[in-house]
Amino acid sequence: MRQKPIAVLTIAVTALLQVQIALPAQAATVCNRYCDARDPGLSPGDRVATSTTLYGRSFKVHVNDTDAMIWATVENGQAGDQVWLDRSFDGGRTWSGDSRLGDTTVPAGSGSARTAMFNVDNWASRGVGVLRACGKAGDRPELTCTGWTRSNWNAWDRRTAAATALMMRFDQGTGLFDTNGWWTGANALTALIDNSRISGMHSYDYAIAATYDKNINARQGQFRNEYLDDTGWWALAWVAAYDRTGDSRYLNTARAGADHMFSYWDTRCGGGIYWRTDRTVKNAVANSLYIQLNAALSLRIGGDSVYRGRAQAGWTWFQSTGMLNSSNLVNDGLNLSTCRNNGDVTWTYNQGVLINALVQLNRLTGDANALTVARRVADAATTSTYLNTNGILREPNEPNQCSGDGVSFKGAFIRGLGVLNAAVGRAYDGYLRRQADSAYARSRTSFDAYGSHWAGPYVSTNHSCQHSVLDLLNAAP
């Protein structure tokens, strides 16, 4: 796996037990169906989502799912105890402007108290929120906080909840996820668009235009840069955006990406495109993306022969290289000295992108062999003990935190497998369901953020880990 020089966002881990109180910034009142500070007695429902205890006191988060509001209580306490809410619009990473909401003290003669209700999301500013209850015993300095949680608004099932957790990481200032996720951001946007199509939830469709408008002139323009695979990921994201919206500017940008990639096809080793514009590496992922993109474009452009020809030439060349090995798994790339398989790692995304490419080629040309090879790769990848530990997909050298390129790879694999699964009568439903059930049970927070290990335990999250699971949930039955 070749790491690209992308800055990694460091996620601060905040202890639940704290020993001092910082004076918060004044929170702005949020108004959705109702405004902040509504009486909990008016809630049509009361779902206790999470709780914690401290010195015998019980602090609870109560959810009004109908109105997407939350309040907190302290029970089994005494006069002077305090309870409040913190609200975060970035998945619990920061909450400085929305801390100590509804700060309430247990009155004399009582052992309990409750805050007012506060909105989970800020629909006016597209803020996607989570809240937690915090509190302290009146006679002690320590604080305790529950886990973060939210209502089931835009989170009524596994898929939509994962999409909503992903949107907590969308930076509206940059139009990217986690501030600077470039090619991984393309995958996150693709997963989000796929989720909108599958679930029917349109709440986050605004991210399509926001990403496009803020980044169309970045790098080399039209979402092109010196990495040809990055260009391919973005071009495929814009194909998905075109399908979702019908906006021709997205299809035009996808075509610009495909043409940029084609300009780096040459006859060295008989053909193929390079990984970078410095023309030093030819590898599997860039060429699989090239086939997939050109086939996808030809399917959408009436009377096309150019992109069709490029897709077919790409696959003819790929077959000649030996990058698809005798075990029916795709190695990383070519040794340019020998023009043969370099024997490097069989990363999961190399399997998934080729699978996806071959399904698109089959749709375009009717080439039955393309679908046959796609199934061979899928069968090999889903049964490989190297790629699956005890039946659960695990990336080679999978890290214990969500960082680097590799934590996006499983998403691309599963996306390709899901496309094949739909094309061949749901043959991989059992495998996909097993992955989804494991991730949901073992690698998930209380608000459906997911970590890198689908077999567990949960260790951390970022947009790459999150989109990978969203891809999984989009594909799973």
Could you report the per-residue pLDDT of 244-300, keeping only the tens digit for each? 999 999 999 999 999 999 999 999 999 999 999 999 999 999 999 999 999 999 999
Please state, in angstroms and rounded to a whole number, the distance separating the CA atoms of residues 133 and 310: 57
> Per-residue pLDDT for 12 more than 80?
no
What pLDDT score was predicted for residue 26?
58
What pLDDT score was predicted for residue 217?
98
> Per-residue pLDDT for 2 more than 80?
no
For the chain, the 3-state helix, strand and coil shares in percent, each to the nearest 5, are: 40, 15, 45
When pLDDT is cut at 50, 70 and 90, the band that residue 4 belongs to is: low
Give the mean model confidence (pLDDT) for residues 229-236: 98
Could you report the per-residue pLDDT of 289-329, keeping only the tens digit for each? 999 999 999 999 999 999 999 999 999 999 999 999 999 99
Query: Following DSSP, what letter does each residue of 437-476 receive, concatenated?
Result: HHHHHHSB-TT--B-S-TTS------HHHHHHHHHHHHH-
Let me know: does 32 contact 106? Beta carbons within 8 Å: no
AA letter at 417:
L
What pLDDT score was predicted for residue 27?
75
CA angle 339, 326, 408 (to 5 degrees): 80
Give the mean model confidence (pLDDT) for residues 152-170: 98
> Per-residue pLDDT for 84 more than 70?
yes
Best CA proximity match to 349, nearest among 186, 170, 202: 186
Please state, in angstroms and rounded to a whole number, the distance separating the CA atoms of residues 462 and 405: 12
What pLDDT score was predicted for residue 131?
98
Outline where 127-263 has alpha helix (H): 158-167, 183-199, 206-215, 228-245, 248-262
> Per-residue pLDDT for 374 more than 70?
yes
Query: Following DSSP, what letter does each residue of 300-326 receive, concatenated?
Result: HSTT--HHHHHHHHHHHHHHHHT-B-T
For the record, the structure tokens of 9 come out as 């966002």
What pLDDT score was predicted for residue 7?
34
Please state, in angstroms and rounded to a whole number, the distance separating the CA atoms of residues 147 and 151: 13
According to DSSP, the residues that pair with 258 across neighbouring strands are none
> Per-residue pLDDT for 155 more than 90?
yes
Q: Read off the pTM.
A: 0.93
Best CA proximity match to 125, nearest among 176, 89, 91: 89
When pLDDT is cut at 50, 70 and 90, the band that residue 149 belongs to is: very high
Percent of the chain predicted with pLDDT > 70: 95
Please state, in angstroms and rounded to a whole number, the distance separating the CA atoms of residues 203 and 201: 6
Q: Residue 341 — φ and ψ, nearest 5°?
A: -50, 130
Let me know: does 363 contact 356? Beta carbons within 8 Å: no
> Per-residue pLDDT for 16 more than 90?
no
What pLDDT score was predicted for residue 180?
80
Give the mean model confidence (pLDDT) for residues 128-144: 97
SS3 218: coil
The mean pLDDT value of the chain amounts to 94
Q: Which residues contact 100 (CB under 8 A, 6 or more apart)?
A: 21, 24, 84, 85, 86, 134
> Where on the phi/psi map is residue 366: left (φ > 0), alpha (ψ -120 to 50), or beta?
left
Cis preceding linkage at 477, omega within 30 = no
Let me know: does 112 contact 82? Beta carbons within 8 Å: no
